[in-house]
Chains A and B, each alone.
Chain A
């Protein structure tokens, strides 16, 4: 039994190692500063293939906007459920969040396509809204978890002074949870930065120049990887691998950073 279980664990770690190694091996060659800073086509010299700056800029805008949309809503949902809602409502809404978390990204993509793109065209806003739908349950659940760790005695201390409930939540409870919120958000960012499906419908018909304007469709790293891998030119494949490596490194560091923040935050909360 133990041998099988150990073997299974080795397989799990092995998959990660193989993925990281194969991406690194194929991508490292094409990874250079031009990839990050130059647009795919330099028009001055004809059709020379260079960087993927438009994809990196697009991902930054898309994920940044999605985070800005998710954070306030996600935190408020968690506060409502943990601080104010009745137990039955809490169970129901938590379940809804879990279901939303399980909705396939492509379904979210189609939903946002029908909502915003039909009749208006693709845009960075539509893309980031789709990503925000995916981030919301992650941020809410992480915030709820950390809110539940805040000792009730702190809430009581504040309420017993004659401080209103909303003020107690804002000034006593919430400051305790910043670490957890940052952790949850970082994990959510790492997760959606690699999402392709919701962006295919909402933000994929793009030009080759770097744009920071979310009113138009924006290129993104995962969509760029998808498109490059469909091209016949081996140089495009190399750039796809390099972009994949950048994405992988970003997610790796984001996850490690989130973990570090989480242990720090938890230690602070459980000290008392």
Chain B
């Protein structure tokens, strides 16, 4: 049992953080999509994250927050085996996706990524037309029927359709940063993934583009499950149902590694955190 906090009267977030105030059903009633157990991630001998155990629930937005270097990005890139591409990367522990170990023997990382899409920190559209950016993945993955409808649907879902419908043949590189990022989101959701991982998707964008992306996550979470890494606490508070706080811990010999400190409903993390370190972070005393 957690000790009753005496701090609660003096607890005041440094930044005004408004959570949406919706209450979640109890966790047992939520459908688990990821079940991560004791995950360690190591880059060429340097431990980036250590001992992460958490669950991610279907049709919710889960935010990963924490200071720089706490392994948030490393963690999220484990979820679709994106780190496989990094030389010297090793991972131990298990990540179960719908009960299946995605790092198990005979599991094809390509199939994993087919179901678990990703949007990156910097917009990375292909140097092709706007239309082709969305359509190419569909073509390669064999979703060739109703191509135009699929492209339109994805662009509409990504809140970009109205801005680009008259210039679908224009180069994607002619779009603004915010538009490019929404195009990348459209590209990711066009292939109908189950989960969309977002690694600081708005960190390179202005507030209006950021707002558009937060809005679309909210609109789309009935169809997809989102996991978003963000260094922006207000953003986590605005979009996320669940929030995980990662921090940096020091080992016996002073080596730094990231760890999961606290994972709970967003409301709880921002108003009544159970861990002192979470409180320090969300009140702005640290980070």
Interface residues of A (CB under 8 A from B): 86-87, 151, 153-165, 167, 171-172, 176, 268, 271-272
Contacts and interface: CB of A to CB of B under 8 A. Distances in A.
Contact of B82 (A87, A156, A271): A156
A172 B132 CA distance: 12
B191 interface: yes
Contacts of B114: 161-162
A242 B110 CA distance: 59
Interface stretch (B96-104, B122-130, B161-169): B122-130
A265 to B, nearest CB: 12
A49 to B, nearest CB: 55
B137 interface: yes
Contacts of B173: 271-272
Contact of A162 (B85, B111, B126, B127): B111
Contacts, number: 69
A81 to B, nearest CB: 14
Contacts of B127: 154, 176, 268, 272
A161 B188 contact: yes
A163 B120 contact: no
B221 interface: no
Nearest to B112: A162
A154 B124 contact: yes
B117 A160 contact: yes
Contact of B118 (A155, A160, A164): A160
A104 B120 CA distance: 48
A87 to B, nearest CB: 6
26 contacts: A86-B87, A87-B87, A153-B120, A154-B126, A154-B127, A155-B85, A156-B120, A157-B124, A159-B113, A160-B80, A160-B82, A160-B118, A161-B113, A161-B114, A161-B137, A161-B140, A161-B141, A161-B187, A162-B114, A162-B115, A162-B141, A162-B193, A163-B110, A165-B110, A176-B127, A272-B127
Given A161-B113, A161-B117, A162-B111, 14 more contacts: A86-B87, A87-B87, A154-B126, A156-B82, A157-B120, A157-B124, A157-B125, A158-B126, A160-B82, A161-B140, A162-B112, A162-B141, A165-B110, A268-B127
B184 interface: yes
Residue of A157, A158, A165 with highest tally of chain B CB at under 10 A: A157
